[in-house]
Structure 1
Amino acid sequence: MLHTKEYYEQMPHDTRNPSHWHALFLDKSIPFNPDAKAAFLYDSSTKSRQFLYPVIKAFARISIVLMQIFKIFIPNLINAPKMLHKSLYWGMRYFITPEANFLILRHFYLGSEVLRFIKDNVRGAENIPMNPLKPTAVSHVRDNLFLEHDLNLYNFIINLNKAIDEKGVKVSKQEKPDFSAISTTPIPFEQFRHRWTNFIDLGTAIEIFTPVYQFFLTDADFWRATNSLQLDEVIGIYAATIMDCPEKLTALNNKHPMIPLPMAGAAFRLLLHGFSTEVLHALLVQAKLEQQRQTVLVDVE
């Protein structure tokens, strides 16, 4: 069963023992899709996150350091992205929670929409090639989904800035942004498997996935993937410039892309990456709905 907003909306409030997760769900200080927020908070409240996560985190980070030392001497011994994604699919389908799968697939979907939004609102950037990733089932992970997502971020930034240099285009404030890329309706995901083995939360799963990612890729590919997480600041600045709302970047935590961080902390930064994408997309959804509301009011008048 996927826990959505109804789970927290119907939760009783005990004033003598208030729920930490209930309070965070009701808080509206940061824009966040209600169903995604409920899934994120429920997944974070599980026994797996409380007890399994600290143990797995320690072993996973030691594994990353040891493997990094090994790859100093043989950096390109293994390069098997297909096997990597088969392993990720297997782990996602049979071991992680429906909430975690929901959030992972949403991330790819929302990320593609955010990049398209930026492209649509930079005049002169119409010919930038795009590779939208919109998975609706866990099985779609097998199509090198994680690797393609990283490549999309880099290629988009490179192609956009080449257009800026060569064609004189500019990322600037738009009085009436084009929100056609941003969806406001639920994504039609296939039902997620929910058996007794699907108990591993998102944070723990990412800690496990990270050394697996490192094992199946060359040292250069893994280094590129971990550094891509700090591109959140770049994408956030583009969107905030178009929307003219730099103050909304306060929820962004993956900062300073020109300063590479240790690989061992990549799993936590990946969680922040997913969080930042959700917040940015929710901000764009709010702006789109407000634009539609204003258009209706003008038509009525």
Structure 2
Amino acid sequence: MSRTPDFLAQGHDERDPSPWLALYLDQSTPLPDEVKAAWLTDSSSGSRQYLLPFLRPVARLTIILIQVVKVFVPRNWSHSKLLHRLLAWGLKRFVSPEANWLILRHFHLGSQVLGFIGRNSPAPVGTSPLEPADIDALKDETFLKHDLNLFNFVIRLNQALRDKGLVLGKAPQVDFSMIRDPGLRLSDMPHGKLNFLDLQSAIELFTPLYQLMLTDNDFWRAANSLQLDETIGIYAATLLGAPEHLILVNNKHPLVPLSTLRAGHRLVIHGLSTEMLHSLLRRMQAAHGATPTPEQPLA
């Protein structure tokens, strides 16, 4: 069973108000209660408070050292399958249930958002949805495929628009049928004694491993895919005719590549931006009286 967050169990003390309770109750950020509770439980954990400040500088120094080492390694040196097996092993044994749940959700939500844009575009394009049912499913190079899917989608979409002489605009009739709850349960995530590591600490630890075991091209593309958050947000807002919804989709300008040293922190922002955008689409789906159709493919 999922745990009740401490900030909810303790209630409100006006002489010592909980910042986590304030963030949970605040409705300016469009997240479902169960997602916000999981996010804040992970963010308020002892692991993030005490371990992350030590892990982050060590992880960034490791990225620099690996970059130096890879100068002397063949450019095509890569062990993606082994990397994903190690990531799945680490997630199952050391990462918190909330973090694992949010990670699995991310692939589903990202696939649905791309499906929404691809289907509502004036030049519709197909997608390659990733919908891992559990952590073991991530072994199928899911993290790498996620990055490839994003760039390939942007290229295919804009090639289709250019070929037909079209531009993205407000959709006359918006199709929300692919937007739905992924059906993943927090209670199904590993709850072992060692599953304590918060999401940000896990990402900081895994980022140097990701760099080490992929080619420079794959790692650079993964880090810079995060800057497409605004791009995807602009696509969705344009189709909806609602640019005001871009305010919470923010991960730096897509035309200005940033250092890979901050990739771990920006990856957390990327995950939160995806949750926000998906939640906005679900709200608009409900406002339009549209119903999701789980059996309908995304592509």
Task: Tell me the TM-score range normalised by the shorter chain.
Answer: over 0.9
Cα deviation for residue 189 of structure 1 reads 6.9
Contact 1:56 1:208 in 2 (8 A): yes
Contact 1:122–1:169 (8 Å) recurs in 2? no
Return the offset for 1:124: 2.7
CA distance in 1, matches of 2:276, 2:74: 36
Residue 186 (structure 1) shift: 4.0
- State the match for 2:295 in structure 1: none
**Residue matched to 1:298:** none
1-structure distance, mates of 2:134, 2:10: 29
The CA distance in 2 between the partners of 1:228 and 1:139, in whole Å, is 24
Structure 1, residues 98-151: CA drift from partner, whole Å, max 9, x if none?
0000000000000000000001111231xx332101112111110101001000
Q: For 1:34, give the aligned amino acid.
A: D
**Equivalent in the alignment of 1:224:** 221
| Structure 2 gap segments, 5+ residues each | 291-299
Q: In the alignment, residue 126 of structure 2 is paired with which amino acid?
A: P
| Greater mean deviation of Cα atoms: 254-263 or 100-109 | 254-263
1:108 maps to amino acid:
F
For residues 24-57 of structure 1, give each alpha carbon's deviation from its aligned partner in whole angstroms, at most 9, with x where no partner exists.
0110112112211111100011110000001111
Q: Cα–Cα, structure 1 residues 189 and 145, in superposed 2: closer, same or farther, change >3 Å?
A: farther
**Is the 2:77–2:214 Cα contact (8 Å) retained in structure 1?**
yes
Identity between Structure 1 and Structure 2 (%): 48
Give structure 1 stretches of 5+ with no counterpart: 294-301
Matching of residue 181 in structure 1 with residue 178 in structure 2: yes
What residue in structure 2 maps to residue 38 of structure 1? 37
| Counterpart residue number, 1:299 | none
Determine which of 205, 212, 215 is the counterpart of 1:215: 212
Greater alpha carbon shift after TM alignment, 183-192 vs 275-284: 183-192
Offset, 1:190 = 7.4
Q: TM-score, normalised by structure 1?
A: 0.92
Kept after mapping to 1: 8 A contact 2:105/2:182: no
How do 1:28-177 and structure 2 match up within 5 A? 28-76=27-75, 78-125=77-124, 128-177=125-174
Alpha carbons 2:98, 2:186 under 8 Å: kept: no
Change (3 A) 1:105 1:185: closer
Residue 280 of structure 1 deviates from its aligned partner by 0.3
Deviations 1:189-211 (A, max 9, x none): 77111011001000000000100
**Partners of 1:42 and 1:189 in 2: CA distance:** 12
Structure 2 vs 1, CA of residues 150 and 263 (structure 1 numbering), >3 Å: closer, same or farther? same
| Alpha-carbon distance between aligned partners in 2 of 1:61 and 1:73, rounded to the nearest angstrom | 20
8 Å Cα contact 1:7-1:38 kept in structure 2: no
Maintained 8 Å contact 1:75/1:219: no
Query: Does the CA contact (< 8 Å) of 1:31 and 1:282 recur in 2?
Result: yes
Which residue number corresponds to residue 261 of structure 2?
264
Q: 1:249 deviation in Å?
A: 1.1
In structure 2, relative to structure 1, the CA distance for the partners of 1:171 and 1:142 (3 Å cut) is: same
* Two-structure CA RMSD over aligned residues (Å): 1.9
Q: What number of residue pairs does the alignment pair up?
A: 291
